[in-house]
Amino acid sequence: MIYDKDKITELRMRLGISMNELARRSHIKGPSMWAIERGKTKDVRFTTLTGIAAALGVPVQEILKKASGKTNKTLQNDLHTLLLALDEPNRLAMIAAARALLAQQKK
């Protein structure tokens, strides 16, 4: 999922906490938090981002990049992240629905 690394850093600094403290509050490892804040990690799970947002005291939308003219790669990443956030039965249901839409579109 595409996140705003600068917004995460800004919110963390506003709270006056270290990167390690944010990692602890988010239930992730310090090196992972470092990679996220530096933008080194591109494919961050939605559950990880919701944990960071909760630790920062903001809704997850606050730390997501605003979409404007998304590229195919961005859309693929978003879809992949959303599917991973679903439990297995719902993920299978979404895949089945997408296949049905594709079959209908081809007619």
Query: Do 78 and 57 share a structural domain?
Result: no
Range of the domain at 100: 72-106
Query: Do 32 and 55 share a structural domain?
Result: yes
pTM: 0.63
Task: Give mean pLDDT, residues 42-53.
Answer: 89
Cα(97)–Cα(64) distance, integer angstroms: 26
Query: Do 77 and 57 share a structural domain?
Result: no
Query: Do 15 and 36 share a structural domain?
Result: yes
Report the domain count for the chain: 2
Rounded alpha-carbon distances, angstroms, from residue 6 to 13, 29, 37, 63, 93: 11, 19, 7, 9, 35
Tokens of 9: 């850093």
pLDDT 10s digits, 1-41: 689 999 999 999 999 999 999 999 999 999 999 999 999 98
Task: Give mean pLDDT, residues 73-88.
Answer: 78
Tokens of 56: 């920062």
Query: Do 52 and 9 share a structural domain?
Result: yes
Tokens of 22: 């944010």
